Copies of this chain bind each other. A is one copy, B any other.
Amino acid sequence: MPDTKRHIIEKESVVVKFVGDSGDGMQLSGSVFSDSAAMAGNDLATFPDFPAEIRAPQGTVAGVSGFQVHMGSEKIYTTGDLVDVLVCMNPASLKSNIKWAKKGATILVDTDSFDNKAIEKAGYKLSPLSDNSLESYNLIKAPITAMTKESLKDSGIDNKTAERSKNMFALGILYFIFNRDTKLAFTYFEERFKKNPKIVEINKIVIQAGYNYAETVEALESVIQVGPAKMAKGRYRNITGNIATAWGLLAAAEKSGRPLFLGSYPITPATEILMELSKHKSLGAKVFQAEDEIAGICSAIGASYTGSLACTTTSGPGLSLKSEAIGLALITELPLVIVDVQRGGPSTGLPTKSEQSDLMQALFGRNGEGPIIIISASTPDDCFYKAYMAAKLSMEHMTPAILLTDGYLGFGSALFRIPKVKDLPAIKPPIAEANDPDYKPYKRNAETLVRQWAIPGTEGLRHRIGGLEKENITGVVSMDPQNHQLMVDLRAAKVEKIADFIPEQEIDGEKKGDLLVVSWGGTFGAVHSAVKLAQDQGKSISHAHFSYISPLPKNTEKVLKGFKKIVVCELNSGQFVNYLRMKFPMPNITQFNKVQGLPFMINELTDKFNQILEEK
């Protein structure tokens, strides 16, 4: 802990954002910083902010890359709307991010990067550092590049390499600002670069130099202290939604005894799940990088037929391509987990931005009557549990499940209390027994309507299934009108019955009142925070956040009926709200939507709630 004479300001939560050129190492600074925060006991959530291009031209606004950390001594639900501390490595990053800074925010800039050329490239006429436009902020101007080089002049590395460490100098300054021990950062490097002591050494030097610099400059009149959060006991880690999704699937495979198969094609923002699972062959995961999305899902259907926990991961455009094959999986009544990490649409749309606009496609995007399971995840760590549940329900109920996450969840991180696999709910797929004389491909469990999973290689169970309508029980091809009606109804009823196996819908707040705020998926944190604010102000408002979408929890109608007004908040033009209207055609359901590739801001939500509550 720094021994500082400066004034210490205690804060419950702080949002810090590192921004710079794509090559400036902002993702690394952010990761080291958030790691230390976690070690220091803060709860936190992070979000990286990439440009759409790999490395758009240096110094341009298009090339700015960022990393945001929201940390607190209270429970953290979002990655933060506006920023308390902004670290800017160049003019372009200041230009594109100043709009996210709170009034009065601390802004740390590398003055060395503000030469005329760079200022112009960023689209400024005059230097923002000298035109008083930043008056309302706490601006810290530091010659970061020069000092980084200076600090490394004895290290024996060349100037260019030295310059690349400037992000660590900035980081050192932040450790001072947050009254954080630089040892926490040192540990990060020591653990990760065991084999490369030179890297560890250089980073230590620069971080400490930054820290020392901050200690001596006048601009810093106070330091910020964010104390440890009260968190449930246990072992923790930081996890992104995509990694959590991958791990949830691995856990379900282990628990069910069914080997994991992933057939997938890369697509932003879902690719990390594929990349992560590729690493876990030691757990027996078979990962097939297919030639396209169709081959991804079709290979998974083949694998599912053989008795694997089969999965495919994608984003919106890829889900479109999988539409036809989802139909095959549902008519053959095979388990299959389809993960859709939603992004901005339609078409290629805003590939690196987040949105919730694939819900209708997930529900209805295939020919014929084809209900399946739809589940959504609420937070990065929740992705683990919802991926697990998607796999469990899909296998136990022999029908495909779509897990909807989004780019915001997938790339964002949160703290994850590590569970033990033995404590996870059991998964018992309905595997047919060898030589069962009564085995028939479409014979069903009377209660759940689920058919059995007969695994190729098993003696006495040879059978063929396929995409043509099948006779119930026997599974032979049938064009019979009554049988078709029966099968359409059975497939729907089977999915509906899953409502008996999922939790009832919870309400956060009173069960009756003026306004029920409904949300689903990745907006949980923002909506939860906004509702809590309103509740704290004494408003008659409650929150129902849906994770299970198809089927809906059994008590859904009851939940909705308890309120005078209902508003469904979504990052689309109104999809869940319309789904609810179909199921429960009630005139008092309104909607609040935003389709900007951005998460909800808490104040947008509270404004809306207040407006609805005031309306007569």
Protomer copies: 2
Contacts of A432 in B (CB 8 A): none
Contacts of A320 in B (CB 8 A): 323-324, 327, 365-367
Binds B, one of A86-94, A178-186, A225-233, A464-472: A464-472
Query: What sequence of 0s and 1s flags, for each residue 576-595 of chain A, a beta carbon within 8 Å of any chain B beta carbon?
Result: 00100110011101000011
- Chain B, Cβ-Cβ closest to A346: B368
Contacts of A485 in B (CB 8 A): 594-596
Q: How far is the CA of A350 from the CA of B586 in the complex (A)?
A: 36
Q: How far is the CA of A365 from the CA of B366 in the complex (A)?
A: 7
Contacts of A594 in B (CB 8 A): 485
Query: What sequence of 0s and 1s flags, for each residue 457-479 of chain A, a beta carbon within 8 Å of any chain B beta carbon?
Result: 00000000011110000000001
Q: How far is the CA of A368 from the CA of B482 in the complex (A)?
A: 37
Q: How far is the CA of A582 from the CA of B364 in the complex (A)?
A: 14
Contacts of A360 in B (CB 8 A): 363-364
- The answer on a CB contact under 8 Å between B578 and A582 is yes
Contact partner of A481 (CB less than 8 A), chosen from B370, B467, B598, is B598
Contacts of A481 in B (CB 8 A): 596-598
- The answer on a CB contact under 8 Å between B581 and A353 is no
Q: Does A39 lie at the interface of the complex (its beta carbon under 8 Å from any beta carbon of B)?
A: no
Q: Does A319 lie at the interface of the complex (its beta carbon under 8 Å from any beta carbon of B)?
A: yes
- The answer on a CB contact under 8 Å between A357 and B346 is no
- The answer on a CB contact under 8 Å between B370 and A346 is yes
Tell me the minimal C-beta distance from A475 to chain B in angstroms.
14
- The answer on a CB contact under 8 Å between A317 and B327 is yes
- The answer on a CB contact under 8 Å between B328 and A466 is no
Tell me the minimal C-beta distance from A312 to chain B in angstroms.
15
Q: Does A139 lie at the interface of the complex (its beta carbon under 8 Å from any beta carbon of B)?
A: no
Contact partner of A328 (CB less than 8 A), chosen from B327, B347, B595, is B347
- Chain B, Cβ-Cβ closest to A468: B348
Contacts of A317 in B (CB 8 A): 324, 327, 367
Tell me the minimal C-beta distance from A159 to chain B in angstroms.
35
- The answer on a CB contact under 8 Å between A365 and B361 is yes
Known: A484-B350, A573-B492. A368 touches B364 (CB 8 A): no
Contacts of A380 in B (CB 8 A): none
Known: A358-B367, A581-B581, A597-B479. A468 touches B349 (CB 8 A): yes
Q: Does A63 lie at the interface of the complex (its beta carbon under 8 Å from any beta carbon of B)?
A: no
Interface hits, A337-382 → B, CB 8 Å: 342, 344-353, 355, 357-358, 360-361, 363-370
Residue contacts A-B, CB under 8 angstroms, 22 given? A320-B324, A320-B366, A321-B323, A321-B324, A324-B347, A330-B346, A344-B484, A345-B366, A345-B368, A346-B368, A346-B369, A349-B467, A355-B368, A361-B365, A364-B365, A365-B365, A481-B596, A481-B597, A485-B595, A492-B573, A582-B582, A586-B587
Closest 4 interchain pairs by CB?
A345-B368, A316-B367, A346-B368, A481-B596
